[in-house]
Structure 1
Amino acid sequence: MIKKALVVVLVALVSACAGIPVSSDYAADYDFAGVSTFAWLPRTEAADGGNNADLDNDLVRQRVTDAVDAQLAVKGLSRALDGVPASVLVTYHLGKEEKVNFNSFGSWYTHFSYYPCYYCDYRPGYGRGYFGHGHFYDDDVWVRSYEESSLMIDIIDAKSKKLVWRGTSKRVMPNMDTPEERRRYIQDTVAAVLAKFPPGAEQHP
């Protein structure tokens, strides 16, 4: 029963990460097989936009750190003890950007009654009128604004101080009302990004 439960949890985590867009880049000549320990690179106050308290505060830093520590531990990397040289250094960068999405619904949709709101009357910002067979109006445009968050995780060779791996994810940021929702959002994003570390990890789990 315990094994079955673990399989279910792993499948759920993989499924959750599968829908998160991620890109990565790395030094092709670097020996990732020799990486066994890591340490956190000290962060500066301006690491994520200066005074943006939403992106860089103690709560967010702890959630990201915990999530990265857990994912690297799963991959066999241990956090180096104080005073002991690590194989690589780890740091991250957070970003947030306001986005606007425009969707246009032309007369073809209104003619065949295929529209998100069939009898919606006029609503500011959402279009106009009654949408049904034989009713033609000007093209309708829906405008939706949203926030897009980005997470970039960098892996740096401890000796040369050169960047050897970088993973990035950009996601639409949902409304999150509780600390647990924020923790899960960060946890899922970090897991998706580090699924590509080391190079080839997704192809050869």
Structure 2
Amino acid sequence: MMRFLMLAVVALAMTGCASNVVTDYNSSVVFGNYASWAFAGGTDSSSFTSLDGTRVRSAVERELNRKALKQVPEAEADLLVSWQIVPEERLEQTGLGLGFGFGSGNFGWALSAPPPVREIEEGKLVVELADSKSKEVVWRAASRRYLNENQSPETRRELIDEVVAEMFTKYPPGLD
């Protein structure tokens, strides 16, 4: 019993340590050469609502300022920033399944019905930084946490702020 309890505690602790973002980057790029940034003119700001767009832009601006990168006009920027909220659908079981059965000894019959399922649309935030000269993405971060329409405005803002802050703890790469 004690072994099972210890295993459960370790599993729970490891789950709490799992990262909420995934990053990828071009390992041949010298990130120290970048000193300025701008939002890319073609930024796909289509999200669940334009309010989320404002929240994302504000969070990205804050985090890049913390990295001592200067925001400049697009024509002068070393890095171009784009972001999007990628819609994803998932199925969610709601309620309980129903079933009944009967039998005696080593023999029995049972019938059951699965719980009701509903489709939920959520959005995953993706932020990309591209070299302004080559127009190639040099760094990318994607959230493992999702926005959904049922969240309050305050919850959405807090989630976006947390996710973007965690994304930029991994920028520049190699400092972990």
1:92-130 deviation digits (Å, cap 9, x = unpaired): 01122220146xxxxxxxxxxxxxxxxxxxxx9522269
After TM superposition, the structure 1 = structure 2 runs for residues 52-71 of structure 1, keeping only pairs within 5 Å, are 55=48, 57=50, 59-71=51-63
How many percent of aligned residue pairs carry the same amino acid?
A: 30
Q: Whole-Å Cα distance in 1 between the matches of residues 144 and 64 of structure 2?
A: 21
Aligned length: 154
Q: Whole-Å Cα distance in 1 between the matches of residues 20 and 115 of structure 2?
A: 25
Q: Whole-Å Cα distance in 1 between the matches of residues 110 and 24 of structure 2?
A: 48
Instruction: Select which of 95, 99, 104 maps to 2:86.
Output: 95
Q: Which runs of 5+ in 2 are unaligned?
A: 1-15, 101-108
Contact 2:147/2:156, CA 8 A, preserved across alignment? no
- The alpha-carbon distance between structure 1 residues 128 and 192, as it changes in their structure 2 partners (threshold 3 A), is same
Q: Secondary structure at the match of 2:98?
A: coil
Q: Which runs of 5+ in 1 are unaligned?
A: 1-16, 103-123, 131-135
Instruction: Select which of 137, 146, 164 maps to 2:138.
Output: 164
Q: Secondary structure at the match of 2:144?
A: strand
The 10-residue stretch of structure 1 (137-146 or 29-38) with the greater mean CA deviation from structure 2: 137-146
Query: What stretches of structure 1 move > 6 A for 4+ residues in a row?
Result: none
- The alpha-carbon distance between structure 1 residues 56 and 161, as it changes in their structure 2 partners (threshold 3 A), is farther
Q: Secondary structure at the match of 2:134?
A: coil
- The alpha-carbon distance between structure 1 residues 63 and 172, as it changes in their structure 2 partners (threshold 3 A), is closer
Instruction: Select which of 143, 146, 152 maps to 2:126.
Output: 152
Contact 1:91/1:154, CA 8 A, preserved across alignment? yes
Q: Whole-Å Cα distance in 2 between the matches of residues 94 and 79 of structure 1?
A: 22
1:136-192 deviation digits (Å, cap 9, x = unpaired): 955664455433321111101011111111111132435323x32221121112122
Q: Within the alignment, does 1:128 sit opposite 2:82 as a pair?
A: no
Aligned residue identity for 1:62 = T
- The alpha-carbon distance between structure 1 residues 96 and 20, as it changes in their structure 2 partners (threshold 3 A), is farther
- The alpha-carbon distance between structure 1 residues 172 and 162, as it changes in their structure 2 partners (threshold 3 A), is closer
Give the structure with the higher percent strand: 2
The TM-score, its normalising length taken from structure 2, stands at 0.71
Q: Whole-Å Cα distance in 2 between the matches of residues 161 and 139 of structure 1?
A: 56
1:55-74 deviation digits (Å, cap 9, x = unpaired): 352x2222111100111111
For the aligned residue pairs, the C-alpha RMSD in angstroms reads 3.2
Q: Whole-Å Cα distance in 1 between the matches of residues 17 and 56 of structure 2?
A: 19
* CA drift at 1:19: 5.6
Q: Whole-Å Cα distance in 1 between the matches of residues 77 and 45 of structure 2?
A: 25
Q: Secondary structure at the match of 1:189?
A: helix
